[in-house]
Amino acid sequence: MIKPMLPSLSFEAPKGEDWQYEVKYDGFRAILKWNHHEITLESRNGKSLLEIFPEIKAFLHSQSEHFRPFLPLTLDGELVFLENAYKAHFGQIQVRGRMRSEKRIHEKSNSSPCHLLIFDILETQGKSIIHEDYFSRKQKLMEIFLQCNLPLKPDEKSKKLVQYIPCYQNFNEIWDKVTLYNGEGIVAKQEKNKWEEGKRTTSWIKYKNWKFVSCFITAYEKTNGYFYAGVYKNDEIYPIGQFIFGLKPDEKKALFEIIKANKLNEDQQYIYVEPAICVEVKYLEIYEEQMREPHFHCFRFDLTPDDCRFEQFLKQQKNFPTDIEVTHPDKPLWENPPIQKIDFIHYLREISPYMLPFLENRMLTVIRFPHGIFGDPFYQKNCPDYAPDFVETKEAEGINYIICNSLKTLLWLGNQLSFEFHLPFQTINSIGPSEIVFDLDPPSRNEFYLAIKAALLIKEVLDHLKLISFVKLSGNKGLQIYIPLPENTYSYEDTRLFTGFIAEYLISKDPNSFTVERMKKNRGNRLYVDYIQHAEGKTIISPYSPRGTKEATVAAPLFWEEVKDGLKVEDFQIPTMIKRIHQFGDPFSTFFETKEIQNFSPILQFLRTNAQAP
């Protein structure tokens, strides 16, 4: 067993020109050893990881021919559940690490695969290189990844599960990204450092993305010296965790004496105290409703316990870069569920890895709700003059459209209270549609069962035609079916042939349930199959976009097996969406890789031939 080299914690960013910076990811430290006979992946404590993470094992074996020239090989890295390119999800990797059921492990490895991120190399072709300096090792590692055609930076969407962690010379450049994407922090490494087994070294420095909370002391634990902290939530004490680190010996002694002298109660384990002593604590994130890695920061003699509120605690759970401002974070946007502006911004931030790929390079139309759902909304196509410089735009037909290609732009739009994100069916680089979308629009939510019926009939046809499809809620009252297409291959006339064919098929199956009648008054209670809406210049709501409904519903991607009786639009709301993805995975995770393998041309040729027949 190899014991890994470990970084030292610092509360200040290292200074000097001989440092390189890597993003720090929160997962299981993992040493990969690969010789001509076997592959092992061991944790920091020597625990074998390949059995719990079969997706990594399968991927490594699939790459054996690429890696063969470099064997025997030893790599140092972190096994993670990637939330985005700069953040790993601590809770998800913990859940995976505790799994023992082979069935559950297999299900999770398929729906939410983890990634092995490599940052160092210790041996190549059987030769140890730990005596070489960090920069040389990093160059050798990158060359291997280049030759093996593996990602040179973390990418949560990539099916290549072994990825390279790059280094950066500019601290501010990478720190802005870590802050924006709510990453754990960075590891600064001296360019000339050598890899030293089992040593906690000062040539590697971890600098973390701390969050701060103002809270009060509620108790002291006599057995271990921990201080318990809380905040007020609706005038009740809400516990947020306990801390011991960060206190100087004299501070710890003084705090204990104050608690002892002013105790409210005492038992065998605890001394309890009324809220009175206010402190500021820094921590990484909230995990299972408690602070992770809390450290005492300072006493807050300027505060009273009533200043330490749960609402403030929530707002400060994520840091923002200096050029992102959230104005009026307390502003109520929805009543039931209760959602404030800061909750909405946090949703956009967390959903961004799943939503941004659909917004990328598309001319955006938003619906803004300046007063939340309590006031009138308005459409916005033109980018306003006051937009910051980082907002990209595209001029088309006299309109200066916003192109939302970055999380910063998404958060800025969120701060403008853009609830709904509507997209054309093609990118700014496309000639013709990038996908086919069927919009299944029942008269009201009371007839939502008609959308389910139509979707299942369409799915049956698409499966028969061997077309790969995806389904999502509109977030309002209907369903939308997507068929990804290769870029710059088909015209809207081509796709109209197909959408018209499917619409007519539905009507032939059940004319009492479905119609293509555009006049609402002539539809009755039938579902409108809006195949004409799939055209140049028309738009559709983006996957994962919130909707301006009273229930704060989302245009949520679904797994096809969920499209059945009992499916309800109201069950897919802003507060539950991230938890759903973490629990079940992203139903649209393979959307973009499907584009190149979609077998649409033979079907189109058949329809063209029949359309020309007398």
**What is the count of structural domains for the chain?**
4
> Are residues 166 and 226 both part of a single domain?
no
Q: Note whether residue 69 is domain-resident.
A: yes
Structure confidence at residue 314 (pLDDT): 86
pLDDT of residue 613: 52
Same domain, 367 and 462: no
Whether 106 and 194 share a structural domain: yes
Range of the domain at 106: 6-204
Q: Are residues 170 and 63 in the same domain?
A: yes
- Summarised one tens digit per residue, pLDDT across range 30-74 is 999 999 989 999 999 999 999 999 999 999 999 999 999 999 999
609 domain residue, yes or no: no
Q: Is residue 430 situated within a structural domain? A: no
Write down the pLDDT at residue 612: 63
Q: Using the 3D structure, point to which of 424, 444, 477 is the last residue of a domain.
A: 424
Same domain, 33 and 89: yes
Last residue of a domain, one of 156, 189, 204: 204
Per-residue pLDDT, 324 = 87
Q: What is the pLDDT of residue 131?
A: 94
Q: What is the pLDDT of residues 243-273, one digit of tens each?
A: 999 999 999 999 999 999 999 999 999 999 9
SS3 at position 313: helix
204, 224, 252 — which closes off a domain?
A: 204
DSSP helix/strand/coil, 123: strand
Residues 352 and 337 grouped into a single domain? yes
Return the CATH number at 589: 3.90.920.10
Query: Starting from the edge strand earliest in sequence, which strands make up the sheet with 470-473, in order?
Result: 514-515, 527-529, 435-441, 479-484, 470-473, 557-558
CATH assignment at residue 257: 2.40.50.140
> Is 177 a residue of the active site?
no
Q: In terms of domains, do 216 and 113 share one?
A: no
My answer on whether 59 and 152 are in the same domain is yes
Classify residue 562 by its DSSP letter.
G
Token output for 17 = 């020109």
The answer as to whether 326 is a domain residue is no
pLDDT score for 278:
97
Give the whole-angstrom CA distance, residue 207 versus residue 210. Answer: 9
Q: Are residues 402 and 352 part of one domain?
A: yes
In a domain, 29, yes or no: yes
Predicted model pTM? 0.85
Does 95 fall in a domain?
yes
Q: Which of 384, 428, 418 is nearest to 541 (CA)?
A: 418
Which is catalytic among the residues 24, 177, 318, 477? 24
Q: How many angstroms separate the Cα of 234 from the Cα of each of 242, 328, 459, 476?
A: 21, 21, 49, 33
Q: Report DSSP state, residue 425.
A: S
CATH of residue 76 = 3.30.470.30
Q: What local confidence, expressed as pLDDT, does residue 111 receive?
A: 87
Query: Which residues does the chain have with pLDDT short of 50?
Result: none
pLDDT at 173: 86
Q: Are residue 364 and residue 446 in the same domain, yes or no?
A: no
- Alpha-carbon Rg for the chain in angstroms: 28
**Span 546-605, pLDDT tens digits:** 999 999 999 999 999 999 999 999 999 999 999 999 889 899 999 999 999 999 999 999
Task: Residue 18: name the closest of 178, 257, 194, 188 by CA.
Answer: 188
Instruction: For residue 1, tell me if it sits in a domain.
Output: no
Same structural domain, 50 and 173:
yes
Angle at 587 between CA 584 and CA 592, to 5 degrees: 140
Whether 613 is covered by a domain: the verdict is no
Q: Which residues, in sequence order, are CB contacts of 374 under 8 Å at separation 6+?
A: 332, 335
* Token pair 């196509």: residue: 381
Is the same domain home to 305 and 356? no
